[in-house]
């Protein structure tokens, strides 16, 4: 009898939810029609590095595809983390796989969804987020999480505001905090929340005023979220939902659509015709170009100290590195990460110029096709 009662309660609840119009339906051109959905991954298959895997260049292409296919609802699926689950505070992730926050690219990325695709209802679905991806997630008012999702703060933010001049460092910190809070404000969130997810020493608690939640920069609230001065504020899926950051929990697209109040929908675009293939091909493409550029750099190092023929081979190798950077800004970003910020297209151009000058001095042509022997 208990099982039957539970089953009946579940069915009744399902009917109530299913018959309740989704708040997003009002934004559709034809609310009575089942929405055609289009999924856009922010990272996938364990590769979700901000600044490379998640870069505005690919989402500008996705936006063109969206406009051509005219979906009714965009599902943005986020999988981006700077630390793996087994030891997120440890050093189990390659330094090169840890995201880098580029303020201009972040703004361009957000602009794609607010300006170019702003007329299409959008929902953010967080599968997992640790670090800069969380900033993107919180910029969307309609946000849901997977049941085991992390929504963790920016523990590494201080790495990007360091400067030997303390006054300059304070300006860097203020600018970074302003950018991050700008994203959170778009999602309707408090500066107090943003600061606690950036600065470890900042505490965070909440108090309830009727149905409203007030974020407090101390531990005086009814629920203490972060009272540890050694870490930034972090949320699991349940806490995020309890405190209104997430609107619900969904472990599949079907679950998500049910949470949104839809009984039926058109998933024809999800059969290799939405953003999943575009983003997946892009991630494979830039990472292959990165690997090729590493090989080319090895050729440069091997030949740059040789005769004019060797110098010509070294120039050709550097031109291959530069071509990869031109095709994929992510490759240039990865080289900046690897070199500590010193190797970009301008630096590669400088190396090519130096080699050409050396080749002229040695009596060679300096061209990529070879020259006279010395």
346: in domain: yes
Of 187 and 17, the structure prediction assigns the larger pLDDT to 187
105: in domain: yes
Instruction: Mark whether 266 and 301 lie in a shared domain.
Output: no
pLDDT in tens, 344-370: 999 999 999 999 998 887 655 444 444
The answer on pLDDT for 117 being more than 90 is yes
Q: Which domain holds residue 187?
A: 23-194+232-271
Q: How many domains does the chain have?
A: 2
Question: Given the structure tokens 């990869």, which residue do they identify?
Answer: 324
The answer on pLDDT for 74 being more than 50 is yes
Cβ-based neighbours of 245, under 8 Å, separated by 6 or more: 138, 143, 151, 189, 235
Instruction: Mark whether 265 and 286 lie in a shared domain.
Output: no
Are 196 and 233 in contact, with CB atoms under 8 Å apart?
yes
The pLDDT, as a whole number, for residue 215 is 95
The pLDDT, as a whole number, for residue 29 is 67
Instruction: Mark whether 57 and 95 lie in a shared domain.
Output: yes
Instruction: Mark whether 257 and 351 lie in a shared domain.
Output: no
pLDDT in tens, 2-38: 333 333 333 333 433 444 556 566 566 676 788 999 9
Instruction: Mark whether 265 and 344 lie in a shared domain.
Output: no
Give the DSSP per-residue string, 213-277: EEEESSS-SSEEEE--TTS--EEEHHHHHHTTSSS-B-SSHHHHHHHTT-S--B-GGGTT-SHHH
200: in domain: no
The pLDDT, as a whole number, for residue 26 is 58
CA distance 102 to 78: 18
Proportion of the chain above pLDDT 90, given as a percent: 64
261: in domain: yes
pLDDT in tens, 236-271: 999 999 999 999 999 999 999 999 989 899 999 988
According to the per-residue pLDDT averaged within each range, which of 90-94, 303-307, 345-349 is highest?
Answer: 345-349
Question: Given the structure tokens 């609107």, which residue do they identify?
Answer: 247
pTM, two decimal places: 0.84
The pLDDT, as a whole number, for residue 22 is 61
220: in domain: no
Instruction: Mark whether 263 and 300 lie in a shared domain.
Output: no
Q: What's the CATH code of the domain at 73?
A: 3.90.226.10
The pLDDT, as a whole number, for residue 25 is 64
The pLDDT, as a whole number, for residue 355 is 95
Average pLDDT on 156-169 reads: 78
Of 128 and 86, the structure prediction assigns the larger pLDDT to 128
Proportion of the chain above pLDDT 70, given as a percent: 85
139: in domain: yes
Instruction: Mark whether 239 and 348 lie in a shared domain.
Output: no
57: in domain: yes
CA distance 73 to 120: 6
Instruction: Mark whether 239 and 287 lie in a shared domain.
Output: no
The pLDDT, as a whole number, for residue 12 is 36
Instruction: Mark whether 61 and 126 lie in a shared domain.
Output: yes
Average pLDDT on 207-215 reads: 90
Give the end-to-end CA distance of the chain in Å, rounded to a whole number.
94
Instruction: Mark whether 251 and 339 lie in a shared domain.
Output: no
Instruction: Mark whether 145 and 52 lie in a shared domain.
Output: yes
Average pLDDT on 98-126 reads: 92
């Amino acid at each position: 009898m208990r099982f039957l009662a539970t089953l009946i309660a579940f069915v009744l609840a399902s009917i109530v939810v299913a018959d309740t119009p989704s708040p997003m339906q009002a934004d559709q051109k034809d609310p009575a029609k089942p929405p055609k959905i289009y999924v856009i991954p922010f990272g996938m298959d364990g590769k979700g590095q901000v600044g490379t895997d998640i870069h505005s260049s690919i989402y500008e292409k996705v936006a063109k595809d969206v406009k051509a296919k005219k979906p009714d609802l965009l599902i943005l699926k986020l999988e981006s983390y700077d630390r793996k689950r087994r030891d997120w505070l440890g050093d189990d992730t390659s330094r090169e796989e840890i995201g880098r926050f580029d303020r201009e690219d972040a703004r361009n990325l957000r602009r794609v969804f607010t300006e170019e695709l702003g007329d299409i209802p959008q929902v953010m679905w967080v599968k997992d987020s640790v670090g800069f991806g969380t900033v993107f997630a919180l910029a969307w008012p309609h946000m849901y999480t997977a049941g085991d999702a992390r929504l963790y703060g920016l523990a590494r933010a201080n790495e990007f505001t360091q400067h030997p001049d303390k006054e300059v460092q304070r300006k860097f910190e203020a600018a970074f905090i302003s950018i991050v809070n700008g994203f959170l404000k778009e999602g309707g969130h408090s500066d107090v929340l943003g600061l606690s997810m950036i600065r470890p020493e900042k505490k965070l608690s909440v108090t309830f005023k009727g149905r409203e939640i007030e974020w407090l920069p101390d531990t005086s609230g009814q629920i203490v979220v972060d009272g540890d001065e050694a870490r930034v504020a972090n949320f699991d899926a349940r806490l995020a939902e309890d405190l209104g950051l997430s609107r619900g929990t969904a472990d599949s697209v079907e679950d998500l659509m049910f949470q949104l109040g839809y009984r039926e929908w058109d998933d024809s675009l999800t059969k290799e015709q939405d953003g999943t293939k575009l983003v997946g091909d892009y991630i494979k493409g830039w990472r292959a170009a990165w690997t090729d550029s590493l090989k080319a750099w090895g050729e440069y190092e091997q030949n740059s100290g040789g005769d004019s023929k060797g110098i010509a081979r070294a120039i050709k190798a550097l031109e291959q590195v530069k071509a990869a950077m031109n095709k994929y800004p992510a490759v240039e970003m990865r080289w900046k990460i690897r070199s500590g910020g010193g190797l970009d297209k301008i630096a590669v151009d400088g190396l090519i110029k130096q080699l050409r000058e050396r080749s002229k001095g040695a009596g060679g042509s300096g061209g990529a096709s070879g020259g006279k022997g010395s």
